[in-house]
């Protein structure tokens, strides 16, 4: 069974469109995250979400909005896509918010904006 | 501010040779450190982690890492590399916040294994 899953795996779209990436974890974790991996392989956290409390990385444009219908899901919605949004987006989850909590990552969604 | 540096962007080793991937961190308190591996087209898989105690940490796939506070390092090692180890390796430090544990990743080291 996949612990953290993301859909779609690949997403190719036109500039200006709105798209969503879905993330689901079946680990019973309380905290979920979204990361962006750029073309240089650098991973940067975008959001963390715990018990309906959202922490936003201040460098993330407000075109990006996470939505959590329930504890097992944290979807990422992107409005007005730009060329610079092309990247691999990783969802992750952890049991709790403590420092010792390992984060488990999904397989990534490869987004290409044309 | 916390940060992680992986000085080697790319490393090539022969199959069967030993491997060491470098990681240096900057963190004010006791660091919680991780190594992840990313195979081509795949997500990140945890190799090992260090929180406290024994500074030599054993992980999966025959990897180990040693925490050296005096050098602010957490280098990853493997005595004999297999072709399947070719991947991207990321070191990370955990930064606790009020509502979550944020990871700061290094820029990664790409490992090529030649037969």
Strand A87-94 and strand A4-7: the pairing is unpaired
Q: Report yes or no: A88 and A111 within 8 Å, Cβ to Cβ.
A: yes
What does the alpha-carbon distance between residue B35 and residue B28 come to, in Å, rounded to a whole number?
19
Ranking A62-66, B92-96, B104-108 by mean pLDDT, the lowest is B92-96
Which of B33, B92, B103, B110 has the most A C-beta neighbours within 10 Å, making it the best mutation to test the interface with A?
Answer: B103
Contact B32 A100 (CB under 8 A): yes
Which of B:51-90 have CB within 8 Å of A?
Answer: 51, 88, 90
Q: Report yes or no: B24 and B107 within 8 Å, Cβ to Cβ.
A: no
Provide the shortest C-alpha distance from residue A79 to chain B (in Å): 25
What does the alpha-carbon distance between residue A69 and residue A32 come to, in Å, rounded to a whole number?
12
Using one digit for the tens of pLDDT, what is the confidence trace for B59-89? 999 999 999 999 999 999 999 999 999 999 9
What does the alpha-carbon distance between residue A80 and residue A19 come to, in Å, rounded to a whole number?
9
Q: Domain holding A67: CATH number?
A: 2.60.40.10
Of residues B43, B92, B97, nearest to A90 (C-beta): B43
- Higher pLDDT pick, A42 / A99: A42
pLDDT band at A11 (very low <50, low <70, confident <90, very high): very high
CB neighbours of residue A67 within 10 Å: 13
Domain that holds residue A46: 4-113
Q: Report yes or no: B81 and B74 within 8 Å, Cβ to Cβ.
A: no
Map out the domains of chain B with their CATH numbers: 3-114 (2.60.40.10)
Strand A75-78 and strand B44-50: the pairing is unpaired
Q: Report yes or no: A61 and A91 within 8 Å, Cβ to Cβ.
A: no
pLDDT band at B101 (very low <50, low <70, confident <90, very high): low
Instruction: Evaluate if residue B114 carries a pLDDT over 90.
Output: yes
Using one digit for the tens of pLDDT, what is the confidence trace for A49-66? 887 778 777 688 999 999
For residue B5, the chain A residue with the least C-alpha distance is A42
Helix (H) or strand (E) run with residue A4 in it: strand A4-7
């Amino acid at each position: 069974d996949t612990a953290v899953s993301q859909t779609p795996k690949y997403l190719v779209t036109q500039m200006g469109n709105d798209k969503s990436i879905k993330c689901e974890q079946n680990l019973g974790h309380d905290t979920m995250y979204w990361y962006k991996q750029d073309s240089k392989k650098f991973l940067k956290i975008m959001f963390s979400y715990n018990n309906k409390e959202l922490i936003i990385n201040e460098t993330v444009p407000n075109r990006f909005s996470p939505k959590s219908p329930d504890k097992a899901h944290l979807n990422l919605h992107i409005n007005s896509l730009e060329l610079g949004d092309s990247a691999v987006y990783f969802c992750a989850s952890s049991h709790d918010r403590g420092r010792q909590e390992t984060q488990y990552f999904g397989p990534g969604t490869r987004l290409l904006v044309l | 501010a916390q940060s992680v540096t992986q000085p080697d962007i790319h490393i090539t080793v022969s199959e069967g040779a030993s491997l060491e991937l470098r990681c240096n961190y900057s963190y004010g308190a006791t660091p919680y450190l991780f190594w992840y591996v990313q195979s081509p087209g795949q997500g990140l898989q945890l190799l090992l982690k260090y929180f406290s105690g024994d500074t030599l940490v054993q992980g999966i796939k025959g990897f180990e890492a040693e925490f050296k506070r005096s050098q602010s390092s957490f280098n990853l090692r493997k005595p004999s590399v297999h072709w399947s180890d070719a991947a991207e390796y990321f070191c990370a430090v955990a930064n606790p916040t009020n509502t979550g544990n944020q990871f700061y990743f290094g820029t990664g080291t790409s490992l090529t294994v030649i037969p």
